[in-house]
Amino acid sequence: MEVILMAVKSVYFFGNGKAEGDAKMKDLLGGKGANLAEMTNLGIPVPPGFTVSTDVCAAFYAGGRKYPAGLDKEVLAALQRLEKSIGKKLGDPDDPLLVSVRSGAPISMPGMMDTILNLGMNDKSVRGLAAKTANPRFAWDAYRRFIQMYGDVVMEVPHEDFEEALASMKKAKGVQLDTELSAEDLEKLVETYKKIVREDAKVDFPQKPLDQLWGAVNAVFGSWMNEKAIKYRQINEIKNIKGTAVNIQAMVFGNFGDDSGTGVCFSRDPSTGENEFYGEYLMNAQGEDVVAGIRTPEKIATLAKKNKVVYDQLIGIKNRLEKHFRDMQDIEFTVQQGKLYILQTRNGMRTGASAVKCAVDMVAEKLITKEQAILRVTPANLDQLLHPMIEPAAQKAAKALTKGLNASPGAACGKIIFTANEAEAWHAKGEKVLLVRRETSPEDIGGMAVAQGILTSTGGMTSHAAVVARGMGTPCIAGAKDVIIQGKTMTIGPKTYKEGDWVTIDGSTGEVFDGQLPLKTPEISKDMNTFLKWCDDIRATSKRGNIKGFEVWTNADQPEDAKRAFQFGAQGIGLCRTEHMFFDKEKLPYFRAMIVANTTEKRKEALKKILPLQQKDFFGIFKAMEGRPVVIRLLDPPLHEFVPHTDAETSELADQLKIPVTALKAKVESLKEFNPMLGHRGCRLAITYPEIYDMQVEAIALAAVECVKQKIPVHPEIMIPLIITTKELKVLRANAEAVLKRVFAAAGMKVPIIIGTMIEVPRAAIRATDIVQYADFFSFGTNDLTQMTFGFSRDDAGSFLPSYIEQEVLEVDPFRSVDEEGVGFLIEVATNGGRLVKPNLPVGICGEHGGDPSSIEFCYKAGLSYVSCSPFRVPLARLAGAQAVLKGLEKPTKPAAKKPAAKKPAAKKAAAKKAADKAKKPAAKKAVAKKATAKKAADKKPAKKAVAKKAVAKKAVAKKAAAKKPAVKKVAAKKAVAKKAAAKKPAAKKK
């Protein structure tokens, strides 16, 4: 039946300087296969082989684990071609060709899937190989490795069984390393291994090379769906790839003897980004030996002494590869009897620091443009750079218990836990955990993701723990050999620690410390500054209609926070909450007195006491911001949040107010609400008690006057929260203006202070065209807007939201990323509505979403003037904003994307016209229809799915996992492109 001609090509050959594939074919050939092909075409020494495409993997799973018809023939033909090019036959008894069978998905998933080396070895070919190479030790070593890998991966024999056999052989021989075992020892070991296989798998170890080959191919395709690979894809939000490819490649041998070896290297330092050749290797070793952590690998620089020719050649190749791919490369190589082979290259995973340094340096070297540099660093990369370090003084004073390798920078402090599962369990209970292990393996990924830090006693800089931790941005020390782990205890010198004991590690120095040391956040480096300035420039020069620039502001209510945010590059304060100021010891008593006052007089009396204190607070913030805009939100939360909650506090307050405790209790009781979130809060407080806002406005005005007197530049803005109707704002604005007028008249000067409103209730968004009459600016309070749009109580959503995310009823947690279809729609309606009346209306966002990269991108597309986020997120927002601008500049490449774009203008115009005709009647309905059509046309399934998985992954692994691997950028970028058409802002820009 396989007579039917193969319509599609499934197998791609590479070898002898020519390949059927190339680097652009990652989706089809996987990253490894595509780059092996590319390197072959470049004339770099790559052992020949062929790649079975990811389409086959997809077909394999679609067809119930069956291969498409004709695949066997195609594979056989490619194998024959390979045999011909090498001049040997697979598993030939006299002179065997051996191959590796390697997995390789379009996005790198290091160590998650299977690879088998030395395939083609059997009882006969081992002797042929021994005779042919005159190196029996090598031949038996290759065979025992093959049985071990194949037995484990294909036949599912527990790998510990092999390791035990190897360990007892070494013990019997009184040697430490497997390189010290002789040919005879290894031959005996092979017998033992075969026995293990027979006993465990109940079949003999397969001897026929083709059986071996298909067994291995099945296993590699099978590994696409193994548990750890699935989990890795979830954690890293990898979606929409077809599957893994399988690479079958002629073996080269690093275990041939002392003139042979294998290693891993990076064209630049993946931790720091320094342009220094970086890597590790082991002589007389094969495959994963370097990362396995059994022998301690040597630094790459020492290779220059061992074999200058090979070393220089390697330097030449890494330079070439870096230039070619225009990015830092992570390269696998093997030296066989003094001849160098390259086995893999890919863009190297890196820390945030390294990402920034590489990007900045590569721009200087003219390898990439500034724009490329900006798109290459992820917001998570920057977030990582703001991770804590140990307070320098405390670090100096403390004596390190021991020192290991500084595998991933940053300091971490946590309770030590010895298994990944327990780390996850403790984390779930809210504990900060530090994962301590001899070494980590891909199975540990979940525990690693939730750990504050990771400490291993074995392994090098490219060990699993080191690589994964760097990618996650988790501090890590590897190879701390003085750390002795036994069961659930860890001994370092005289000290023994048990599960749950506190330890601090410094992943930047490799030092391990006893107990909890204070951690501190680092300053922004010079490179980061340069980089972020580029981001600022890109945002500043962006233009959407008549909205120029896209700023990053911050949410801060303390002068220190404001200062930090300002150092981090904040261009203003988008939300200065005033309620936090009242929790201050000095103010709280007066504030409480004000709350429980029964008369306006009493209330005013208390407010009078607060006025100078509040004025001082504002003055401090104005001063810290040096003339940048400071948006002050008038009192927002329900009053009962401030009243005493314990009996002791209640009687203290009663004493102070000279009223009976019972009376106070009754008053407090009366302030209780069934739904405080929907109760007496926000501007409603000022409708009932105008004197509260009057006091706050007076304090703002007085602080501003004080600044002017002291020649401090000042730019206050007043923001009224929770507005629902035009009338509300009209009244409250008039009140505020009256106070301002009075203060300025008395001071004999005038400070310009604009008055705007928050849009955080759907009704306000819908009535924006009307409300804007009394607003000088809008700011979206997306926490409340999300709460009220969904009808999800922010305080109670925890009990059901996780199920929504898990079952994918909701794609993302709407409190984390703006729900573009609902909340985002209201944002667009309000922004466009406001600007219909006031075309230059400044519009910002001050909810938590202001620091979320995907929400920032949405805000840009929706036409917002700025985002405001917490100080620590300012740097990443500067970047995410610039990326949004750059992505917005990308031309739609796919013809399909044109459709909705073409459709839109007409619809848009119609809606805009309607709205303009009747400025009072909001364009909401029309806009709904328009948006729906546009959305339908533009909605692409892939985008949706990517989002869905994101949510699951986020759930599965806490915060930390949000640190994205560089590789994931691709998915995110795709998602962005797919969505672009959907979320174009129908701004009223061209009136």
- Catalytically active residues, by annotation: 464, 846
Name the residue among 569, 577, 550 with its Cα closest to residue 867.
550
- CB closer to ligand ADP out of 328 and 714: 328
Assess contact for 235 and 315: CB atoms under 8 A. no
Q: Residue numbers of the site for ligand ADP (CB under 6 A)?
A: 47, 100, 102, 110-111, 115, 117, 249-252, 287-288, 332, 334, 343-344
Regarding 114 and contact with Mg ion (CB under 5 A), the answer is: no
* Alpha carbon distance 49, 42 (integer Å): 16
Residue 121 binds which entry of Mg ion, ligand ADP, none, with Cβ cut-offs from 5 to 8 Å by kind?
A: none
Closest approach of Cβ 781 to Mg ion, in Å?
Answer: 4
Q: Taking CB under 5 A as the criterion, which residues in 3-32 touch Mg ion?
A: none
Residue 824 binds which entry of ligand ADP, Mg ion, none, with Cβ cut-offs from 5 to 8 Å by kind?
A: none
- CB closer to Mg ion out of 719 and 961: 719
Of 223-231, 572-580, 756-764, 890-898, the window that binds Mg ion (rule: CB under 5 A) is 756-764
- CB closer to Mg ion out of 39 and 704: 39
Listing DSSP states for 663-690 in one string gives HHHHHHHHH--SSGGGSS-THHHHHH-H
Name the residue among 846, 837, 839 with its Cα closest to residue 863.
839
DSSP structure class, residue 498: E
CA distances from 62 to 33, 54, 68, 230, 470 (A): 22, 12, 10, 17, 35
Nearest 10 degrees: Cα torsion 179, 180, 181, 184: 110
Residue 100 binds which entry of Mg ion, ligand ADP, none, with Cβ cut-offs from 5 to 8 Å by kind?
A: ligand ADP
For 351, other C-beta atoms within 10 Å of its C-beta total: 28
**Binder among 114, 141, 698, 784 for Mg ion (CB under 5 A):** 784
Regarding 111 and contact with Mg ion (CB under 5 A), the answer is: no
Name the residue among 176, 149, 181, 178 with its Cα closest to residue 162.
149
* Alpha carbon distance 742, 369 (integer Å): 55
- CB closer to ligand ADP out of 235 and 885: 235
Assess contact for 421 and 914: CB atoms under 8 A. no
- CB closer to Mg ion out of 760 and 811: 760
Regarding 53 and contact with Mg ion (CB under 5 A), the answer is: no
* Alpha carbon distance 785, 30 (integer Å): 43
Closest approach of Cβ 288 to ligand ADP, in Å?
Answer: 5
- CB closer to ligand ADP out of 86 and 505: 86
Residue 781 binds which entry of ligand ADP, Mg ion, none, with Cβ cut-offs from 5 to 8 Å by kind?
A: Mg ion
Tokens coding 742: 């009075």
* Alpha carbon distance 347, 359 (integer Å): 13
Contacts 24+ apart (CB under 8 A), 753-757: 753/700, 753/701, 753/704, 753/716, 753/717, 753/718, 754/717, 754/718, 755/717, 755/718, 755/719, 755/720, 756/631, 756/717, 756/718, 756/719, 756/720, 756/842, 757/719, 757/720, 757/721, 757/723, 757/729
- CB closer to ligand ADP out of 99 and 938: 99
- CB closer to Mg ion out of 35 and 344: 344
- The amino acid present at 942, given as its one-letter code, is P
CA 952, 957, 960, 964 torsion: positive or negative?
A: negative
| Residue 412 CB burial class (10 angstroms; 0-12, 13-18, ≥19) | buried
- CB closer to Mg ion out of 435 and 785: 785
Residue 234 binds which entry of Mg ion, ligand ADP, none, with Cβ cut-offs from 5 to 8 Å by kind?
A: none
Residue 784 binds which entry of ligand ADP, Mg ion, none, with Cβ cut-offs from 5 to 8 Å by kind?
A: Mg ion
CA angle, 502 as apex, 501 and 503 as ends, to 5°?
120
Closest approach of Cβ 463 to Mg ion, in Å?
Answer: 14
- CB closer to Mg ion out of 794 and 914: 794
Tokens coding 408: 């991933």
Regarding 49 and contact with Mg ion (CB under 5 A), the answer is: no
Count Cα neighbours of 23 within 13 Å in the Cβ-side half-sphere.
Answer: 14
* Alpha carbon distance 529, 399 (integer Å): 33
- CB closer to ligand ADP out of 270 and 824: 270
Residue 504 binds which entry of Mg ion, ligand ADP, none, with Cβ cut-offs from 5 to 8 Å by kind?
A: none
Q: Count residues contacting Mg ion (CB under 5 A)? A: 4
* Alpha carbon distance 227, 916 (integer Å): 57
- 363, containing H or E segment: helix 352-364
Label residues 545-573 b or e (16+ Cβ within 10 Å = b): eebebbbbbbbbbbbebbbbbbebbbbbb
Residue showing the smallest CB distance to Mg ion in the complex:
784
Interface map 320-359 toward Mg ion (x if CB under 5 A): ------------------------x---------------
Regarding 152 and contact with Mg ion (CB under 5 A), the answer is: no
Closest approach of Cβ 501 to Mg ion, in Å?
Answer: 36
- CB closer to ligand ADP out of 222 and 569: 222
Closest approach of Cβ 344 to Mg ion, in Å?
Answer: 5
Closest approach of Cβ 113 to ligand ADP, in Å?
Answer: 7
Regarding 33 and contact with Mg ion (CB under 5 A), the answer is: no
Distance of CA 574 to the CA centre of its chain: 25
Could you tell me which residues are beta bridge partners of residue 403? 511
Residue 572 binds which entry of Mg ion, ligand ADP, none, with Cβ cut-offs from 5 to 8 Å by kind?
A: none
For 296, other C-beta atoms within 10 Å of its C-beta total: 14
CA distances from 240 to 247, 897, 964 (A): 21, 18, 17
Name the residue among 105, 102, 101, 110 with its Cα closest to residue 441.
110
| Residue 384 CB burial class (10 angstroms; 0-12, 13-18, ≥19) | buried
**Binder among 781, 833, 844, 851 for Mg ion (CB under 5 A):** 781
Residue 352 binds which entry of ligand ADP, Mg ion, none, with Cβ cut-offs from 5 to 8 Å by kind?
A: none
Q: Taking CB under 5 A as the criterion, which residues in 842-871 touch Mg ion?
A: none
Closest approach of Cβ 169 to ligand ADP, in Å?
Answer: 23
Tokens coding 269: 């330092």
Residue 288 binds which entry of ligand ADP, Mg ion, none, with Cβ cut-offs from 5 to 8 Å by kind?
A: ligand ADP
Residue 249 binds which entry of ligand ADP, Mg ion, none, with Cβ cut-offs from 5 to 8 Å by kind?
A: ligand ADP
CA distances from 312 to 8, 254, 319, 427, 765 (A): 42, 18, 11, 48, 65
* Alpha carbon distance 813, 805 (integer Å): 7
Closest approach of Cβ 349 to ligand ADP, in Å?
Answer: 12
Closest approach of Cβ 343 to Mg ion, in Å?
Answer: 7
Closest approach of Cβ 256 to ligand ADP, in Å?
Answer: 11
* Alpha carbon distance 470, 448 (integer Å): 11
Closest approach of Cβ 682 to Mg ion, in Å?
Answer: 7
- CB closer to ligand ADP out of 330 and 636: 330
Of 353-361, 521-529, 584-592, 780-788, the window that binds Mg ion (rule: CB under 5 A) is 780-788
Closest approach of Cβ 276 to ligand ADP, in Å?
Answer: 22
Closest approach of Cβ 316 to ligand ADP, in Å?
Answer: 19
Q: Which residues contact 801 (CB under 8 A, 6 or more apart)?
A: 792, 810, 813, 815
Q: Which residues bind Mg ion (CB under 5 A)?
A: 344, 760, 781, 784
